[in-house]
Amino acid sequence: MKITDSVQYLKGVGPKKKAELARLGIARVYDVLTYFPRTYEDQSALTRIADLRPGTVATVAGTIVNLQEQTGRRGLTILTAYLNDGSGLLQVTWFNQKYLKNKLKVGRRVFVSGKPAYAYGGHGQFAMSQLRYFQILDEGEQAAGLCGILPVYAATERLNQKFFRTLVEEALEAADELPELIPARILAERKLMGRREALRAVHFPKDGEELKRARYRLAFSELYLIQCGLLLIKKQSQQTRLGIRHQPNGKLVAAVLSGLPFTLTHDQQQAWQEICRDMERTVPMRRLVQGDVGSGKTVIAMLALVKTVETGWQGAMMAPTEILAAQHYENLSAKLAPLGIRVGYLSGHLTPRERREMHEAIACHEVDIVIGTHALIQDDVHFARLGLVITDEQHRFGIAQRAALEKKGAHVPDVLVMTATPIPRTMTLTVYGDLDVSLIRELPPGRQPIRTFVRRPDRRPLIYQYVRSQIEAGRQAYVVCPLIEMNEESDLPSAEEVYDELRFGIFRGIPCGLVHGKLAPAEKERVMQDFYADKIKLLVSTTVIEVGVNVPNASIMVIEHAERFGLAQLHQLRGRIGRGSYASYCILVSEGKTENARERLRIMATVSDGFKLAEEDLRLRGPGQFFGSMQHGLPDLKIARVPEDIAILLEAHRAAEATLTSQGDLDFIRPILALQYKERFQHIMEN
Ligand SMILES: Nc1ncnc2c1ncn2[C@@H]1O[C@H](COP(=O)(O)OP(=O)(O)OP(=O)(O)O)[C@@H](O)[C@H]1O
């Protein structure tokens, strides 16, 4: 049997099982080996029933001494088993899991893991339902008694734990032909377990120590290979692709700098210097500027655009929303047109004629800077001399789209990516390993911290009274709602309803506006313009204002149903205020029904630093959801977990850096990467 053979070569796998396995992504023998245990059951970590504590998760092994089945309302089946482990009785309940009926038998031993509560009625002292984990022990195990640590797989109704354990055991026989993935030098230096040994041990560890070492080794090699891939891509693109060598800063850049109504913060200066250094080299720049909301990234983008124009090239800046693109366009053309720089605007909403004219202007170098939305990456856009590409909020675009824009010119343009979603530093390694990073952590001076409060809906009259008083004092306000329009299925008030409620109610006599994604572009633009111009005082909106909207006079924001938003999103929304010198307030209105929602809002109210929030967010939601749409091009991790394995990630990164400087290691690693990660790195490699 070979590692690449189909699973049907393994004993006990017929067509049905094969199909079932395929649904779990297991097709070849190799996939069985990398179907890592979801968790382990450690015999030594069992709790005696007599020692259970209500509310504290525990694992119990006991023999079923009694079984009862009831049918509840609407045909709900309730199975109750009483377990005895010699120290006491535990009542375990399963709802609607009919298939268990034939499996649970008096006399069988089972493992259950969950939170016990005191039992009411019945015979047990404690009761458990909604188990975290449950397993019926096999006859053999029962006789022999269990020892050591057992792997627990994500099993299905038809493929149970016993099946997986046997399957893996058999697949392990083929593991001998698996080649090592890590250069011998690194293995030795770091005293890492060999690959085969680690695979064996991760499924069937002798003890906790061995399991730890095996997991470490496997997570390490997974992260290490990805890091090698990312670093190699970066190196290759730097070696083989000739970029544009921009001139040292000249009169135009100086004019823009001296025209700023403020001086750059230390972090802005540092980022700007890093960008200049990159742009003045022949190697194409690939830099990510990460700055918290309102930290002043736009100025840096503008300077970079001017620098490319000054050297005789064109700059393109792509924004994620129409509103933001329009805002950047207004802002930049107001500042740059007086200096003779021609700024153009390209969006999907131009008339065909306008669009054609803009395409021509871009192709004939009649515009120096183009600001736009996705329209910038259409096939029919050709730049005469594209020197710099800036993508704003890159995570919304994904690596593939960024690559499309980079290919718009005959030369390799410099690339600058701006993001206001602070990503914990270590995470940038996995996601943006191919980019250099500049950080703008510091906020411009004179900003007052935004004070954030969580309030229940019954306080809305008071809240809005306060908003009104702020508006009367000259400020502007945002009210953010999760939905656009009335929805029969949802009892959430929509932006439209709230808008009507407010403008005909408490804000009568005050100019109010409504903006959301379904408005016609011209209408959206008009409303935003009026808000920028302080003609609209209260803006009711959906999350369309989330990114980048900059109205320094707006100092108060009410977020309705705040529990509907994630931390990162709330932080982005909140970042719309506190952008001037006024004291700013953000009020999160929520009933906070679940504990998780309450915790999130509590964190929002106490943490204002976007980077810290991102870490909390990561902790609460886990990396999968955290990255969500950001995950383009990022290989799935099979065993490593980020952020939990951040220490391993850093080690892997260091090892990868060392690998790139050693020809021997590189020769070793290249074919492995080509084989293992070819498809996964495809979109990045195209870059
Ligand atoms: N060094 C500075 N000193 C004072 N004000 C500054 C400074 N840099 C930028 N600003 C001002 O701060 C505000 C926010 O800047 P900017 O819009 O560039 O932030 P941003 O980082 O792009 O924010 P977001 O992530 O929300 O888009 C703007 O009004 C800008 O003029």
Q: What is the CATH number of the domain that holds 94?
A: 2.40.50.140
The pLDDT of residue 506: 93
Q: Which atom of ligand 1 sits closest to the CA of residue 268?
A: 1
CA distance 468 to 507: 7
Kindly state if the Cβ of 579 falls inside 6 Å of ligand 1.
yes
Q: Give the other-Cβ count within 10 Å of 448's Cβ.
A: 12
Q: Are residues 407 and 533 in the same domain?
A: no
Q: Would you say residue 549 lies in a domain? A: yes
Distance 578 CA to ligand 1 centre (A): 11
Whether residue 586 is found in the same domain as residue 454: yes
Same structural domain, 386 and 459 = no
pLDDT at 367 exceeding the cut of 90: yes
Q: Which of 556, 577, 607 is the last residue of a domain?
A: 607
* CA 531–ligand 1 middle distance (angstroms): 18
Closest ligand 1 atom number to CA of residue 575: 26
Q: What is the domain extent for residue 11?
A: 1-38+153-178
Cα 555 to ligand 1 centre (Å) = 15
pLDDT at 275 over 50: yes
Grade residue 676 by pLDDT with cuts at 50, 70 and 90.
low
**Interval 86-140: pLDDT, tens:** 888 999 998 888 778 888 889 888 888 888 988 876 666 889 887 766 777 766 5
Does pTM surpass 0.80? no
Single out the residue of 219, 132, 39, 125 nearest to residue 653, CA to CA.
Answer: 219
168 pocket-lining for ligand 1 (C-beta < 6 Å): no
- Ligand 1 mean position to 264 CA, how many Å? 10
Q: Which atom of ligand 1 is nearest to the CA of 324?
A: 27
Atom of ligand 1 nearest to the CA of 550: 17
Domain final residue pick, 404, 419, 434: 419
Asked if residue 24 has pLDDT above 70, the reply is: yes
Q: Is residue 255 domain-shared with residue 127, that is, in the same domain? A: no
What is the CA(248)–ligand 1 centre distance, in A?
25
pLDDT above 50 for 142: no
| 167 C-beta closer than 6 A to ligand 1 | no
pLDDT in tens, 526-582: 998 899 999 999 999 988 776 668 888 999 999 999 988 888 788 888 988 988 888
Average pLDDT of the segment spanning 67-82: 86
One domain, residues 257 and 157: no
Grade residue 356 by pLDDT with cuts at 50, 70 and 90: very high
Q: How far is the CA of 271 from the centre of ligand 1 (A)?
A: 14
CA–CA dist 143, 63 (Å, integer):
12
Q: How many CA atoms lie within 13 A of 512 on its CB side?
A: 22
Residue 205 pLDDT more than 50?
yes
pLDDT at site 108? 87
Read off the amino acid at residue 126.
F
In a domain, 244, yes or no: no
Give a three-class secondary structure readout of 402-451: HHHHHCCCCCECEEEEEECCCCCHHHHHHHCCCCEEEEECCCCCCCCCEE
pLDDT tens figures, 577-627: 988 888 899 999 998 788 878 888 999 999 888 878 877 776 666 554 444
Q: Ligand 1 centroid to 298 CA: how many Å?
A: 6
Q: What is the DSSP letter of 179?
A: P
pLDDT at site 636: 62
Within this chain, do residues 129 and 167 fall inside the same structural domain, yes or no? no
Closest approach atom of ligand 1 to CA 440: 21
Per-residue pLDDT band at 629 (split at 50, 70, 90): very low
How many Å lie between the centroid of ligand 1 and the Cα of residue 263? 11
> Does residue 521 sit in the same domain as residue 550?
yes
Site to substitute for ligand 1 among 550, 555, 574, most atoms within 8 A of C-beta: 550
CA of 167 from ligand 1 middle (Å) equals 58
Reported as half-sphere exposure (CB side, CA atoms, 13 A), residue 678 has a value of 5
pLDDT digits 0-9 by tens, 436-490: 889 888 888 877 788 999 999 999 999 999 999 999 999 999 999 987 665 555 5
The reply to whether 346 and 492 lie within a common domain is no
In-domain check, residue 631: no
CATH number at residue 578: 3.40.50.300
Q: Using most ligand atoms within 8 A of CB, pick from 423, 571, 579, 581 the residue to mutate for ligand 1.
A: 579
Mean pLDDT over 374-402 rounds to 73
Asked if residues 413 and 376 have their Cβ atoms less than 8 Å apart, the reply is: no
Which segments of 241-321 does DSSP mark as H helices, in order? Answer: 251-259, 266-279, 297-310
Pair (412, 480) in one structural domain: no
Q: For ligand 1, pick from 257, 258, 262 the residue to mutate: most ligand atoms within 8 Å of CB.
A: 262
577 lines ligand 1 (CB under 6 A): no
> 550 in ligand 1 pocket by Cβ < 6 Å?
yes
Is the model's pLDDT at 372 over the cut of 80? yes
Rounded Cα distance between 347 and 168, Å, is 54
Is 635 a domain residue? no
ipTM of the complex in this document: 0.97
Ligand 1 binding pocket includes 463 (Cβ within 6 Å):
no
Of 607, 622, 647, which closes a domain? 607
Instruction: Tell me which residue of 551, 514, 546, 550 sits closest to 534, measured CA to CA.
Output: 551
Task: Say if residue 493 is in the same domain as residue 578.
Answer: yes
Tell me, yes or no, whether 303 and 390 share the same domain. Answer: yes
In a domain, 5, yes or no: yes
Average pLDDT, the chain: 84
- Say which range, 328-337, 401-410, 515-524, 661-670, has the weakest mean pLDDT: 401-410
- Considering the domain architecture, whether residues 16 and 63 belong to the same structural domain is answered as no
First to last CA, the chain: 39
State the total domains in the chain.
4
Residue 670 lies in a domain: no
Determine which residue's CA is closest to atom 1 belonging to ligand 1. Answer: 264
Domain membership flag for residue 26: yes
Specify the CATH number for the domain of residue 28: 1.10.150
Task: Report yes or no on 642 lying in a domain.
Answer: no
More confident residue, 599 or 277: 277
Instruction: Give 296 Cα–ligand 1 centroid separation in angstroms.
Output: 3
